[in-house]
Amino acid sequence: MPQRIRTPPKALASSHKLGKASAATPALTPPTSSALEAQPASTSESPAATSPANCGSDEVNSHDGTGVFKLDSYLEPYAASLRGRYSYFRDWYNKLVQTEQSLDAFSRSYEKFGFNRTKTHIIYREWAPGAVTACLIGDFNGWDHRSHLMTKNPYGVWEIAIPHRPDGTPAIPHNTKVKISFTNADGVRFDRVPAWIKRVTQDLNVSPIYDSVYWDPPQAYVWKHPRPPKPTSLRVYEAHVGISTPEPRVGTYNEFTDVTLPYIKSLGYNTIQLMAVMEHAYYASFGYQVTNFFAASSRYGTPEDLKRLIDTAHGLGMTVLLDMVHSHASNNVLDGLNKFDGTDHCYFHEGPRGCHELWNSRLFNYGHHEVLRFLLSNLRFYMEEYQMDGFRFDGVTSMLYKHHGIATGFSGHYDEYFGGAVDEEAVGYLMLANYTLHQLYPDIITVAEDVSGMPALCRPVLEGGVGFDYRLGMATPDMWIKLLKEVRDDDWKMGDITHNLVNRRYQEKTIAYAESHDQALVGDKSLAFWLMDKEMYTNMSDLTERTPIIDRGMALHKLIRLITYGLGGEGYLNFEGNEFGHPEWLDFPREGNNSSFHYARRQFNLIEDKLLRYQYLRNWDAAMHHLESSHPWLASEHNWVSTKHEGDKVVAFERGDLLFIFNFHPTQSFTDYRIGTMWSAPHHIVLNSDAPEFFGHNRLDANQVYNTTPEPWNDRPNYVQVYIPARTCIVLHAK
């Protein structure tokens, strides 16, 4: 039976394990020192601002959250829940507009909080309601706890204005250490890294604890390139700066800029997703135990180095997404947010609700005014200061539900997405975040890492959705791993494979991937390793024979990636190194491996050696992307699966203006195999996995023309007859 790629909005099942978790608005003129001193930052209890006007206020208040019914009538029984969560968002929206002037101003609070320099002063503000006294200490004052005392307003905000020196230079020199020192009700003193600090550094010769640094370089970075247009076809290269070198050490921003960016561009990707940029004290956490939310990790270089990386990517026409971790925070006290003001909450929920039992981390109180200020401003900071193009939100499933997805399976029944298990405050925050970002940056891209399949997650907030642009297709890699681990090739079900790839929510965009960083971590295996681990260290040279294991592995690696790319979503993602079948897992230096960097690197040297077979998989990856660039099927509305033959192991589908044909059969090749097509013009090969540059057997003529016969076949008005060798895929274009 024919099958449309976009299925009706019914259950979306997934089995993925719960893992770790464009034009910008014009810059605001910073207020003068006296204005800052006279008007402390507003809070939830602050008097109403005199100018509550904000873009979109009438729009927000004219909706009730049930607009999503137009796309999904199955949601109608949950109207009360949808109205309730929209009402929660609307109430917060109106409250913030009233007390903070606008969402724009509120989300720019990094211009008030933390360290900000005016013409005459350095102004420092920090929210710490649980502290009794506070003072600023650092190299600039000899770490004196008496010289720079701070004052506290009724809303828990501490403040100090430090005048410049007589010669006009700031009293706190650039790149010198600072801290805030508190006392509690018992008179106990404790020092903390400022919550809004923009740089922290580590000197392992002194201590593993990170130091906070006042960062205010004399020469600000000058941006050279504007943000590129928002891509309609999202081809994402998921990358980690630190491992982007074959050498056993931490890579740098500058190395990534000079070496890795041109490589990514050459492959045909148009988007880079940067992991582990927000500072994390524990390198082995893969960046998911964030300690300092406004600080770009110093282990890779300076903030200016990161800006150069992003600027260079923009110059190459690539957008840059930041892996944004707002789902939880490190439980570090001395260099994190935990117990920041001496209490067990402050930015987090109090008691057990504020702790994630599996991740050993802290959970934000998304229902608090100042926490919203911190998180929304964090997003704006990276958009403005670093010119990011969007965010991939980590651990969204953990945010959406009070059970955080722990020991919970999602069958796809709508009852699972509404009711008491849903964390209304977290959903409200995500709606606020997406609405604010999309109002201020029309070309922004936001991606949700959600395994649950919550309905309307990727629909606009004004419809009643949560507002993301894409969700990650997290069930797909599980499907491939399960097949490779548990099912003989002869028993693969073509109908099951295609169903799993097309089973996504109608009109909610999905980013497809065959494997991401989750499948590369220590204890797991990449697809290449599942396919060829027995011979990857002995038979990946062209000087060795083509063994059945290598032949099968190379062939299936290509087929798996293209069918996922072709059917699985409206975007495609690859984790760096997987494009060429990286041979080893990823394991960061830690106590359990004697702090070794051996597996904390990507061996790009393997594709530089022309005697090794990794180059063929790299060639295939590039060919897929360049084909999608010239025939952008990801953004196409035309999608049709016409063939799913279980005995022959053949799948055929139309996507965009291309006809994809796959033969997964281990041994059987087919001559004059009939494939239905909507196009009557002659068909030509535009991609062929059997070509020698892709480690194929060169059994197909690249210049072959397939004439159509105007007779119906498999619900298509025409058909072509093709030769498709075993474990081969071809893509045809009619012209």
At 649, the amino acid letter reads K
Strands (E) across 232-284 are located at: 234-240, 271-275, 278-279
**Alpha-carbon span 651 to 600, nearest angstrom:** 38
Q: What angle do CA 111, 24, 241 make, to 5 degrees?
A: 80
CA distances from residue 227 to 313, 318, 482 in whole angstroms, order as listed: 9, 8, 40
Q: Side-chain half-sphere of 509: how many Cα atoms within 13 Å?
A: 20
Phi, psi of 97 (to 5 degrees): -65, -40
Contact, 417 vs 16, CB < 8 A? Answer: no
Contact, 260 vs 225, CB < 8 A? Answer: no
Which residues touch 335 (CB under 8 Å, ≥6 apart)?
Answer: 193, 200, 209, 210, 211, 212, 281, 291, 292
**Alpha-carbon span 694 to 561, nearest angstrom:** 13
> Rounded to the nearest 10 degrees, what angle do helices 614-630 and 548-567 cross at?
20
Lateral strand order in the sheet of 151-152 = 114-117, 121-127, 157-163, 151-152
CA distances from residue 288 to 143, 245, 283, 393, 503 in whole angstroms, order as listed: 32, 21, 9, 11, 29
The tokens of 144 are what? Answer: 């004196």
**Alpha-carbon span 346 to 324, nearest angstrom:** 21
Strands (E) across 286-400 are located at: 292-296, 319-324, 329-330, 355-356, 361-362, 390-393
For this structure, is 423 an active site residue?
no
Catalytic residue among 126, 216, 416, 449: 449
**Alpha-carbon span 314 to 388, nearest angstrom:** 10
Which residues touch 678 (CB under 8 Å, ≥6 apart)?
Answer: 640, 654, 716, 717, 718
Contact, 688 vs 650, CB < 8 A? Answer: no
For this structure, is 449 an active site residue?
yes
CA-wise closest residue to 306 among 253, 343, 229 = 253
Which residues touch 508 (CB under 8 Å, ≥6 apart)?
Answer: 456, 457, 458, 459, 471
Residue 235 is classified by DSSP as: E
Q: Which residue has the tokens 């530089």?
A: 608
Strands (E) across 465-587 are located at: 470-472, 510-512, 571-575
**Alpha-carbon span 149 to 183, nearest angstrom:** 12
As a whole number of angstroms, the longest Cα–Cα distance in the chain is: 90
Catalytic residue among 72, 255, 394, 515: 394
**Alpha-carbon span 322 to 285, nearest angstrom:** 16
Determine the 3-state secondary structure of 138 from DSSP. strand
The tokens of 220 are what? Answer: 């600000």
Three-class secondary structure assignment of 439-488: HHCCCCEEEECCCCCCCCCCCCHHHCCCCCCEEECCHHHHHHHHHHHHCC
Rg (CA), the chain: 27
The tokens of 2 are what? Answer: 């024919």
Contact, 706 vs 732, CB < 8 A? Answer: yes
> Mind telling me the catalytic residues?
394, 449
